[in-house]
């Protein structure tokens, strides 16, 4: 085991980018004194050691969860496990390679990480323009998972236009709660039009869904179920989830009762959210001051009046959803940030001019104000290819 850990550390150091190393376009003048190379070497070694400690702390937490608490303390003050996105990819490669031939831990729930520090940082730094989702998702998920014996599953419903970050937040949750992210055996993702396309088979779908939820809960003490395009689900389908979302009597609680989170992602209510935000901004309000109680009642009213399966399901009619979370429409400066992140995620250079050009390629509405991106940040990653050298 000790030899394997040393091998992992050596591989990690080889993959690390050299902090402070000159880039391809930097000038490197020859040293004036014989001692200059030694001083430069010492500085680089110190910088590399500091950076490698950050990577090593996170790698230990992902591979050996018993070391996670000590690793988190070692990473304190480092922006909550913040790492370059390219570095995250290196860590994923190392973790997958190590766990392919060596058991990462002895217990059945070893791949559950619950890195709330990382989740808080991701929601604060990588999610743009969604202060309501940032605060509410972290508070509800952390509070639920820290309960010793919850009396029901947690149900969160994300609403907003396409490209505003609903799927992105679902992925951040999976990545920070499970070491394998969306690939985890404890995470199941369903797309309404893909997995449940035919209304005439709703009874069969309902039976299969109930069986899959049960099997996943038996396999994992903590599970995450994601339902994309939730507004297209048949209301009968969601009946299969009722037993998990209704309050259980105290005598029915078991010590080993699984913790389950259901996420519903929907475009339903997007127009209502946008209209409310536009009205508040036109009245002189600040975006960051928009409150949940200014949006959720209108959102719920639209769901109840719209002819959709989700709006007419038992989850909405019987108030089984714990929180409706609105995703606000994104503005020009949010799109620029998304473009910057797209460059960084691929390790590519960018200029401020390129970010502006990408942001200007998007369509903005309403026609008069030109305030909100009609596609949010969707398709940004495909557009950056036009601006590569």
- Pairing outcome for strands 154-159 and 323-326: parallel
Model confidence at 54, pLDDT cuts 50, 70, 90, reads low
What is the pLDDT at residue 76?
44
What is the pLDDT at residue 108?
45
Model confidence at 335, pLDDT cuts 50, 70, 90, reads very high
| pTM of the full structure | 0.76
The better pLDDT of the pair 42, 276 is held by 276
Which residue has 């039976």 as its token pair? 207
Q: Please list, residue by residue across 184-201, b when 16 or more beta carbons sit within 10 angstroms of its beta carbon and e when fewer do.
A: bebbbbbebeebbeeeee
What is the pLDDT at residue 308?
79
What is the pLDDT at residue 160?
96
How many CB atoms within 10 Å of residue 110?
16
pLDDT digits (tens, 9 = 90+) for 102-117: 445 544 466 899 999 9
What is the pLDDT at residue 307?
78
* Phi, psi torsion values for 90, nearest 5 degrees: -60, -45
Q: Please list, residue by residue across 61-93, b when 16 or more beta carbons sit within 10 angstroms of its beta carbon and e when fewer do.
A: bbbbbeebeebbebbeebebbbbeeebbebbbe
DSSP 8-class letter at 292: G
What distance in Å separates the CA atoms of residue 238 and residue 255, rounded to the nearest whole number?
A: 27
How does the average pLDDT of the chain come out, rounded? 81
| Distance separating the N- and C-terminal Cα atoms of the chain | 45
- Nearest Cα neighbor of 51 from 90, 6, 16, 7 is 16
Rounded to 5, what percent of the chain is helix, strand, coil?
A: 55, 10, 35
pLDDT digits (tens, 9 = 90+) for 56-77: 666 666 555 555 555 444 444 4
DSSP 8-class letter at 312: T
pLDDT digits (tens, 9 = 90+) for 127-186: 999 999 999 999 999 999 999 999 999 999 999 999 999 999 999 999 999 999 999 999
Model confidence at 236, pLDDT cuts 50, 70, 90, reads confident
Q: Where are the alpha helices (DSSP H) in the chain?
A: 2-15, 36-63, 68-74, 85-101, 116-125, 131-145, 166-177, 192-195, 202-219, 242-245, 270-282, 296-305, 314-317, 332-345, 352-361, 380-383
Contacts 24+ apart (CB under 8 A), 64-69: 64/104, 64/105, 65/105, 65/110, 65/112, 65/113, 66/105, 68/113, 68/115
Model confidence at 20, pLDDT cuts 50, 70, 90, reads very low
- Pair 123, 172: CB distance under 8 Å: yes
pLDDT digits (tens, 9 = 90+) for 302-332: 888 877 788 888 888 899 999 999 999 999 9
- The full set of domains in the chain, from first to last, is 116-247+257-328 (3.40.50.300), 333-385 (no CATH)
What distance in Å separates the CA atoms of residue 16 and residue 325, rounded to the nearest whole number?
A: 38
What distance in Å separates the CA atoms of residue 377 and residue 364, rounded to the nearest whole number?
A: 12
* Six-digit token string for 281: 């901004």
* Phi, psi torsion values for 266, nearest 5 degrees: -150, 145
What is the pLDDT at residue 107?
45
């Amino acid at each position: 085991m000790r030899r394997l850990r040393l091998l992992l550390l050596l591989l990690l150091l080889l993959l690390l980018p050299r902090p402070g190393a000159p880039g391809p376009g930097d000038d490197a003048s020859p040293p004036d004194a014989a001692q200059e190379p030694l001083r430069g070497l010492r500085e680089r070694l110190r910088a590399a050691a500091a950076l490698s400690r950050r990577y090593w702390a996170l790698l230990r937490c992902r591979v050996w969860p018993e070391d996670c608490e000590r690793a988190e303390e070692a990473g304190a003050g480092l922006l909550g496990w913040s790492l370059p996105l390219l570095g995250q990819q290196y860590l994923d490669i190392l973790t997958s390679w190590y766990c392919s031939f060596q058991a990462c831990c002895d217990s059945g729930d070893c791949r559950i990480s619950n890195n709330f520090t990382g989740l808080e940082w991701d929601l604060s730094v990588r999610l743009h323009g969604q202060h309501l989702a940032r605060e509410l998702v972290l508070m509800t998920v952390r509070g639920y998972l820290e309960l010793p014996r919850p009396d029901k599953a947690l149900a969160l419903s994300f609403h907003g236009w396409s490209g505003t970050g609903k799927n992105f937040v679902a992925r951040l949750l999976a990545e920070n709660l499970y070491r394998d992210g969306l690939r985890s055996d404890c995470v199941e993702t369903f797309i309404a039009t893909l997995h449940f396309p035919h209304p005439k088979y709703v009874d069969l779908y309902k039976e299969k869904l109930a069986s899959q939820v049960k099997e996943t809960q038996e396999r994992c003490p903590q599970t995450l179920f994601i339902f994309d395009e939730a507004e297209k689900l048949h209301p009968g389908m969601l009946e299969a989830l009722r037993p998990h979302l209704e309050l259980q009597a105290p005598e029915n609680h078991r010590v080993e009762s699984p913790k389950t989170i259901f996420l519903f992602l929907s475009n339903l209510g997007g127009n209502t959210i946008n209209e409310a935000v536009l009205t508040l901004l036109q009245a002189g309000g600040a975006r960051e001051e928009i409150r949940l109680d200014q949006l959720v009642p209108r959102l719920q009213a639209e769901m109840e009046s719209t002819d959709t399966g989700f709006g007419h399901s038992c989850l909405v009619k019987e108030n089984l959803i714990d929180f409706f979370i609105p995703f606000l429409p994104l503005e020009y400066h949010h799109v620029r940030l998304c473009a910057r992140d797209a460059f960084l995620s691929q390790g590519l250079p960018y200029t401020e001019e390129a970010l502006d050009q990408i942001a200007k390629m998007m369509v903005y509405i309403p026609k008069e104000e030109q305030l909100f991106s009609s596609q949010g940040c969707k398709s940004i990653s495909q557009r950056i290819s036009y601006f590569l050298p």
